Amino acid sequence: MDHTTFVNGVFPAMTTPFAADGSIDFDRLRDHARRLVDSGVDGLVPVGSTGESATLTHDEHVEVVEAVVDEAGDEVPIIAGAGSNSTHEALGLSQRSVDAGADALLLISPYYNKPETEGMEAHYREIADRVNAPQIIYNVPSRTGRNIAVETAAALASHENVVGYKAASGDVGRISEVAERTRDEDFGVLSGDDGLTLPVLSVGGTGTISVTANVEPERVSDLVWSAHDGDYETARQRHRELEPLNRALFAETNPIPVKAAQEIRGHGPANYRSPLTDATEETRELLREALEALDEREVSA
């Protein structure tokens, strides 16, 4: 499979459904994967931040990957979250995810211990050297406390196993520089902030790993592929339509609102693992208003 498969288009950052007792609801997980694939997305990203991976055991993590691969792995690429703040742990989880059938890996940068630039690059190089699978590095300083330096991303882009960069810093200038400095490599830049997907595409981005696509996969896909086709009028229209929902989905810590949105849409109860809590009524009202407005408009309008 060509590396560009993993860095072009729309890849929902999947939620992980839980039963009331906190166990993983694998039937709903498979239903969710099926619904997304049938909507026309370009791949699936289980067990990332949106999938509450921080609360899963390693065995559960692998079981989620296996279930999504079993349901949809023959139809779209499966990009498994597999990062850690420990290089040793990330190596083990990455290899186990590949063994479970994942086509590629999404690797959050080391959090909490906040390595310096040299340590950040060494972390990613060791995983890329030792795990033979396409890998996307993931910059999300709001969760990790440290940006991946532009120089680090540019240096890693030359590694044959490092195929992309998920950009969730909120800094379009930084994202633009990464796209500019990696344009000659087999490497893509994916938006990790739904409200910035269109700006990221406009400066050289190739797609999005999207929270919003859990509930509006068709519109997010239309936004991205319209932009790829040069139809920025349609892309801007989709951006404007989605912005109230994008804002509502981040009114509280992700994935609290997106699970509430899935519940509003009739896709099962919004159950979380502690320490996450239920969405407030204020957030639910924002979500209801945004979803009702979207329901009144056809995607093809």
- For the annotated catalytic residues, the residue numbers are 138, 166
Q: In the chain, how many H helices and how many E strands?
A: 12, 7
Q: Which residues contact 65 (CB under 8 A, 6 or more apart)?
A: 46, 47, 78, 80, 97, 100, 101, 102
What own/partner pairs with CB < 8 Å and gap ≥ 24 does 88-93 have? Answer: 90/123, 90/127, 91/126, 91/127, 91/130, 91/131, 92/58, 93/58, 93/61
| Lookup: tokens for 63 | 């079981």
Query: Considering only CA atoms, which of 88, 62, 188, 213 is closest in space to residue 137?
Result: 188
Distance of CA 106 to the CA centre of its chain: 8
Q: How many CB atoms lie within 10 A of CB 22?
A: 11
Kindly report the three-state secondary structure assignment for every residue of 238-274: HHHHHHHHHHHHCCCCCCHHHHHHHHHCCCCCCCCCC
Q: Cα separation of 91 and 130, whole Å?
A: 8
The encoded tokens of residue 168 equal 């969730």
Q: Is the C-alpha dihedral spanning 57, 5, 38, 41 positive or negative?
A: positive
